Amino acid sequence: MTRTRYSKFNTQNRLASGFTLIEMVVVIVILSMVALLVIPRLPSTDAVRLKSSARSLASAIRYMGDRSVTAKIHYRLLFNLGDGSVSVKKVTADGEEVAADDPLLSRFALADGVIIEDIRISSLGKLAEGEVNVDFGAAGLAEFLTIHMKGAGGGRFTLLAYPNSGKVRVLDGYREWES
């Protein structure tokens, strides 16, 4: 009789003890295969920052164009290709540049690791260094503008801004200017 009690106790103990080593290995293998399939499809943070900066710049260009037409305000978009900064200035009637008083334009900045690779303007051609000023007058953007942006991970986006229409396109990759 003692023997049967002992074997029942032993069987109950084994059932309540947890997972076997084989069960744990199977679960780890399945999770590893799922991770191998899913992780490469997730966007990198560099790509997300680049895309966000490209869309932000496109929105700022559209907004400046619309605002300059409707409110008759002259804006100047300043690109410093040396340090990668972008700023917006309001141009007064006497030609003086002052900080843009519009909160949407005064806080605009590119994400860390995103640079302006080059800019092409109809009248000046392709510029890859120095400072570039783009003016928005009473009719909006005066000339066709192409902006090439590059992220820290090597990704690229191209912005095409069309004059007098307010249309701005954001394209994936480096696209040359088409007249």
DSSP 120: E
> So where are the chain's domains?
2-41, 45-172
Which positions ≥6 away from 100 have C-beta within 8 Å? 75, 88, 89, 90, 106
Mean pLDDT over 81-100 rounds to 87
For residue 11, pLDDT beyond 80: no
> What pLDDT is attached to residue 156?
93
* CATH code for the domain defined by 45-172: 3.55.40.10
> For the chain, what is the mean pLDDT?
84
Could you please report the per-residue DSSP string of 8-42? HHHHHHHHTS---HHHHHHHHHHHHHHHHHHGGGS
> What pLDDT is attached to residue 43?
67
Q: Are residues 82 and 135 in contact, defined by beta-carbon separation less than 8 angstroms?
A: no
For residue 124, pLDDT beyond 60: yes
Query: Which token pair is 135?
Result: 């003016």
For residue 5, pLDDT beyond 80: no
